[in-house]
Structure 1
Amino acid sequence: MNVGEKTEALTFDADRRSPKYRLKDLWIEFRDSTGLHGVDKIKPPSVNPFSIRGSIWMIALCSTTAFLVYNLVDQIGDYYSYPTITKFTPRMVPFIDFPAVTICNRCTLNKTRLDVYPEMETYFFNRSLGLVNESLVPVSDVFQKQLSLEWWRNMSMDGAEMLMSCVFGGVQFDCMSKFRPIFTSEGLCHTFNFNDSEIARVKKAGDSKNLMVLLNINQNHYTFTANMAAGIRVFLHNPSVHPDAGSTIVMAASGFSTYVSMQKYEYIYQPLPYMAFGHSDCVDTTSPEFVNPLKYYSPYTFNHCVMECVQTKAFDQCGCVGPSDPRGGPLCSLTKEGSCYKIILDAESSKANFLEECGCVGECRFDSYTAQVSSSSFPAKVWVNHLLKTRGAQDKEAMTENFVVLRVFYDQMMVTTITQQPQYTAASLFSNIGGQMGLCLGASMLTVAEIAEFLVFITLFLLDKCRGRKARNRISNW
């Protein structure tokens, strides 16, 4: 017998004489080496099948494992429901962007200009009371023909007459050089700081440091309107957004100095898969991949989307547009505007499924302004004579009926950011899982690796058995 044959024979004899490696041995070696708490107290059944201590530890281990699994399922389910928290962060700033301020006379049409058309005053009187339909509209050409923006401008109040004096940041300026005429749902209005290349900023707060405007609403030129009011309507909105698009609105009456104290809020929401507004999502308009889906309004906002949707429906049904519609189609006649266009706008906006039909989604980032309004009588007696001389009013009664002082200002140099943040991050999820594992089993990520390795060894042990091979002690050998 040569040396190789002798060595093989000796190895065979050693293997035949070595003790049989069993699944119990695999468990004992894992139990003695693992860092999992309580496992070393559990003995194999063949050693002591009725060990009270071992049974108690087995029950304790199974109970804590079940509790751990229950908590982990709950934690992971909560994580994938994408919960959020809201964080309020007020901060003092050295300067604040000023909002656009749109001023509309409560009657934007000028009676003295409308008087060139017979029956015009009667028409607007009936229309303000809701008594106008196509059968009752006069047959004159002005009521039936397609109008133009130039016609509406010519029939509106003159901005140069309404805006008498303007001051911003303590510096007086020519009102018409900074106020831009713009058509809104109220008619022809005038906007300060709208779509300018340089957005106005303020560095100081207070009613004397921001915007002050003296106006003459000219009630003698009023015609009949549905609101039956005198004074001005003021929109506070983002400088890049149309005044009708979700602005903060305040009213100011003639004979008063009205103070509008503002605060600015910045809203930042999380895009999908998070829910931004209750059960709806938001669109990240700052993303490089975002493309504005709107045809006529820019930038994209929820309110711009709603306005375009409603105006499109009105155009489809009436075949014409209103003065404030940017699509540039044929403008409605007075008949179509009063009996079709405005009726469709109101009807569509009030439908229960309106937002679903339009498919408008809120933007994830936007600004808003809150306003507190107060007022005092204007003018004070001591100023009456001076204003009569310099402002061309006939008497104090005329000033009380027509003059409005508007002061729009920040009450303090502070911006509040409202941020929606994920309640769970990947790091916090793993921290919670690690805490649960440590609390229940005294385990860590390395313990999970030990358990995974043990399961691999069991699989290999069973494969050896199935193939008729001798099971090997891989825990010690590897």
Structure 2
Amino acid sequence: MDGKLAQTIKPDADQPLAEYGLIDLWIEFSQTTGLHAVDKIKPISCRPFSIRGLLWSLVLCSTTGFLVYNLVEEIGTYYSYPTVTKITPQIKHSIKFPAVTICNRCTFNNTRLDVYPEMENYFFNISRGKTRKDSFSHLTSDVFQKPVSLEWLKNMSMEGSKMLFKCVFGGDIFKCMTDFQPIFTYEGLCHTFNFNASKSVFMAGDDANLIVTFNINQNDYTYINNMAAGIKVFLHHPDVHPDASSTVVTAAPGSSTYVAIQKIQYRYQTHPYMAFDDTACLDTNSLDFVNPLKFYSRYSYDHCFMECVQLKAFKQCGCVGPYVPVASRRCSLVQLHTCYNPAVRSLSKNGTFAKECRCLSECVFDRYTAQVSSSSFPADKWESSLLNETGAKNRESMIDNFLELKVFYDQMMVTSVTQLPQYTAASLFSSVGGQMGLCLGASILTVAEIAELLVFVLVFLFDKCRGRKARNRISNW
């Protein structure tokens, strides 16, 4: 009985199978897909004409076009790499103290320059803007024409041991010349505290950090471009040269100057994100990064631009200034004031030349902001005590030469400015999924169904070209 039944339902091998076409493939897809409204669109062979099917076709085409438009917008936004900035104040138990570089407003010591009779008149001419070469044709001493050595400049400058009178850090008195290192800057010979980044603070307040008393020794001043008396203070990272875009404040004699600082950490996204408008930053923390600079061990935008300017000035003048940290031919005093320094000033404010340098900012760096206030120094009550301590002749002399500087964190807080991607891969997929769901009720699985349909169409056409029966082939998948 079972054999007869099986024989009955066994298909006739000679009976031809129904021809399978693209319309059949579409019918199968429309009945199984999760894509909305597709099942309402009938092939032409099923019904000669259907207003309902036509309207649904228009609706489907319209929503598909709207979806494609939105997807293009979304993908365009994603590949424009937009960013947002997040500012986060962070309370710290300890904060690294910045390097503090201090320069006397007149770095040359007139009493030491007296060995050169023409020197004072030379500096007077320089300060009055007389920098033409013919202005120095009468100079007879070789010191004006010889390359200036750093040792000579150091001997002719104000002594740090006399300028730095009393130093206190964290409430403890220390020997000033032990923790202050001499360094040449555009201002001349200066002295840097915390040059080795070894100092941290654990308390905020004007009496808890760095306090220095100075004797600027105005009696030893000579003529310079700057006519002021006092000190110039640079706040910067210990690895950054003071001339490299530091935070700068000044302090006058006869005053106690308070410099309340705040530390700001900047963190920018690397390429392909734009850190500064249309400019990318340089990831100096990458393991593949190699410092391209010749003069400076730490890469920064300001170091890069300074080196670019100094190399150009070297090509023009054949020498470098004393503040350039490289063992190259030093300029003479005349070359310094007639060629090198004017070239540096001109190039530094040349916007076209700045673009030619092609310097990029680093992606991670620190900056310091400062709020400055001052009060009279010393108070009348302390006059007699400080006169004995400082050895000043009288109050007038003390007011003309002595000043107090307090550099401190106003609070134990670091502000972090972080650039974050506004559009990530996850947000892109979420947005695309929302657009697909809104327009077509589709999902990623629906995309897989459409991809499967396209594969079946290709298989169908391939089989047709080879004369094979596409239905059997597709049905077996």
What TM bracket, shorter-length normalisation? over 0.9
Q: Secondary structure at the match of 2:270?
A: coil
What pairs with 1:131-210 in structure 2 (closer than 5 Å)? 131-137=130-136, 138-194=139-195, 196=196, 199-210=198-209
Which residue number in structure 2 is paired with residue 420 of structure 1? 419
Q: Secondary structure at the match of 2:351?
A: coil
Distance 2:285 2:418 in 1: 15
Q: Secondary structure at the match of 2:134?
A: coil
Distance 1:304 1:109 in 2: 26
> What amino acid sits opposite 2:131 in the alignment?
V
Moved more, 43-52 or 404-413: 43-52
Deviations 1:184-225 (A, max 9, x none): 00000010001x2x5200011111111111101111111111
> What amino acid sits opposite 2:103 in the alignment?
C
Distance 2:52 2:346 in 1: 77
Q: CA deviation at 1:461?
A: 2.1
Which residue number in structure 2 is paired with residue 23 of structure 1? 22
Distance 2:394 2:58 in 1: 96
Which residue number in structure 2 is paired with residue 226 of structure 1? 225
> What amino acid sits opposite 1:96 in the alignment?
I
Q: Secondary structure at the match of 2:258?
A: strand
> What amino acid sits opposite 2:459 in the alignment?
L
Q: Secondary structure at the match of 1:414?
A: strand
Deviations 1:114-138 (A, max 9, x none): 1221121111111011112211112
Which residue number in structure 2 is paired with residue 348 of structure 1? 347
Are positions 1:86 and 2:80 aligned together?
no
- Relative to the length of structure 1, the TM-score reads 0.94
Which residue number in structure 2 is paired with residue 311 of structure 1? 310
Q: CA deviation at 1:22?
A: 2.7
C-alpha contact 1:309 1:358 (8 A) present in aligned 2: yes
C-alpha contact 1:259 1:406 (8 A) present in aligned 2: yes
Distance 2:220 2:179 in 1: 24
Distance 1:356 1:470 in 2: 68
Q: CA deviation at 1:10?
A: 6.1
Distance 1:317 1:269 in 2: 36
Which residue number in structure 2 is paired with residue 453 of structure 1? 452
What pairs with 1:52-71 in structure 2 (closer than 5 Å)? 52-71=51-70
Q: CA deviation at 1:47?
A: 2.6
Which residue number in structure 2 is paired with residue 217 of structure 1? 216
> What amino acid sits opposite 1:384 in the alignment?
E
Q: CA deviation at 1:476?
A: 4.7
Moved more, 75-84 or 379-388: 75-84
Moved more, 296-305 or 175-184: 296-305
Unaligned runs of 5+ in 2: 1-6
Distance 2:324 2:256 in 1: 33
Which residue number in structure 1 is paired with residue 76 of structure 2? 77
Q: CA deviation at 1:356?
A: 2.6
> What amino acid sits opposite 1:121 in the alignment?
E
Are positions 1:380 and 2:379 aligned together?
yes
C-alpha contact 1:21 1:473 (8 A) present in aligned 2: no
C-alpha contact 1:29 1:475 (8 A) present in aligned 2: no
Q: CA deviation at 1:423?
A: 1.8
> What amino acid sits opposite 1:241 in the alignment?
V
Relative to structure 1, the CA distance from residue 146 to residue 461 in structure 2 (aligned partners, 3 Å threshold; closer, same or farther) is closer
Are positions 1:297 and 2:296 aligned together?
yes
Q: CA deviation at 1:299?
A: 1.0
Q: Identity, % of aligned pairs? A: 63
Q: CA deviation at 1:26?
A: 1.3
Which residue number in structure 2 is paired with residue 250 of structure 1? 249
Which residue number in structure 1 is paired with residue 95 of structure 2? 96
Deviations 1:231-260 (A, max 9, x none): 111000001111111110011111111111
Q: CA deviation at 1:110?
A: 0.8
Backbone CA RMSD of aligned residues:
1.8
Q: CA deviation at 1:466?
A: 3.1
Unaligned runs of 5+ in 1: 1-5
Q: CA deviation at 1:23?
A: 2.0
Q: Secondary structure at the match of 1:283?
A: coil
Deviations 1:263-306 (A, max 9, x none): 10111111211111111111111111111111121111111111
Moved more, 352-361 or 183-192: 352-361
Deviations 1:131-161 (A, max 9, x none): 1221111232221222211110111011111
> What amino acid sits opposite 2:281 in the alignment?
C
Relative to structure 1, the CA distance from residue 10 to residue 473 in structure 2 (aligned partners, 3 Å threshold; closer, same or farther) is closer
Q: CA deviation at 1:46?
A: 2.5
Which residue number in structure 1 is paired with residue 283 of structure 2? 284
Distance 1:220 1:139 in 2: 27
Q: Secondary structure at the match of 1:226?
A: coil
Which residue number in structure 2 is paired with residue 3 of structure 1? none
Q: Secondary structure at the match of 1:362?
A: coil
Q: CA deviation at 1:174?
A: 0.9
Which residue number in structure 1 is paired with residue 4 of structure 2? none
Are positions 1:360 and 2:347 aligned together?
no
Deviations 1:27-77 (A, max 9, x none): 111111001111122122223343222222211111111111111111112
Q: Secondary structure at the match of 1:58?
A: helix
Distance 1:470 1:262 in 2: 82
> What amino acid sits opposite 1:105 in the alignment?
N
Distance 1:344 1:380 in 2: 46
Between the two proteins, the alignment pairs up a number of residues equal to 468
Which residue number in structure 2 is paired with residue 108 of structure 1? 107
> What amino acid sits opposite 1:162 in the alignment?
M
Distance 1:427 1:475 in 2: 35
Deviations 1:339-385 (A, max 9, x none): 01101111221223222322221111110001111111111111111
Which residue number in structure 1 is paired with residue 3 of structure 2? none
Distance 2:329 2:459 in 1: 81
Distance 1:50 1:408 in 2: 87
Which residue number in structure 1 is paired with residue 39 of structure 2? 40
- Relative to the length of structure 2, the TM-score reads 0.94
Distance 2:12 2:417 in 1: 76
Q: CA deviation at 1:431?
A: 1.8
Q: Secondary structure at the match of 1:282?
A: coil
Q: CA deviation at 1:421?
A: 1.5
